[in-house]
Amino acid sequence: MRRTPFFWLAVSALSCVGLCLTWFWGAWSGGLDVAETCTLLRGEKYDDTYRAEHWREPSQFFPLHDKCNASYDLVPFWVNPLLVLLAFLAVGCLIAAVLRTIAYFRPATTAPPAA
C-alpha cells in the first residue's frame, strides 16, 4: 500500500508534537525546587557541592539531566533516547513526504513506441 504525502507529513507533525511533549516532561522533571524534589519526593541526598560544580548541566538543551548528586538523575532514563528516536522519525517522515510529493507531480513516462 502506497502512502500519500499527507500521511508522511502527518506522522512527521505528530512526531514533532511527541518530541516537544517529551522534552518538556524531561526538562520539568525536577520541579521548581530541585532540592525539595530530591529529598522529599525521591528520597535522595541533595549534593549542593556537586550542583555547584556542574551548574550548566540542568540548563542545557540536550541531553537533559537534572541530578541530585553524582549518581541520581531526576530526568527519567527513557527521555533522551526517545528524543533522539522522535527526532529521527520526524526528519525521516518529512523526507518521505517530500519524495512522495515529487513522485506524485512528476509526469509519467511513456513507453517507447513498439518497433
Model confidence over 33-57: pLDDT tens digits? 999 999 999 999 999 999 999 988 8
Q: How far is CA 16 from CA 4, 11, 13, 52, in A?
A: 19, 9, 5, 34
Locate 84 and state its grid cell.
Answer: 533522539
Higher-confidence position of 110 and 60: 60
pTM: 0.84
DSSP for 64-111 reads ---BSSSS-BSS-TTHHHHHHHHHHHHHHHHHHHHHHHHHHHSPPPPP
- Helix 79-105, helix 5-27: angle, nearest 10: 160
DSSP summary character for residue 46 = -
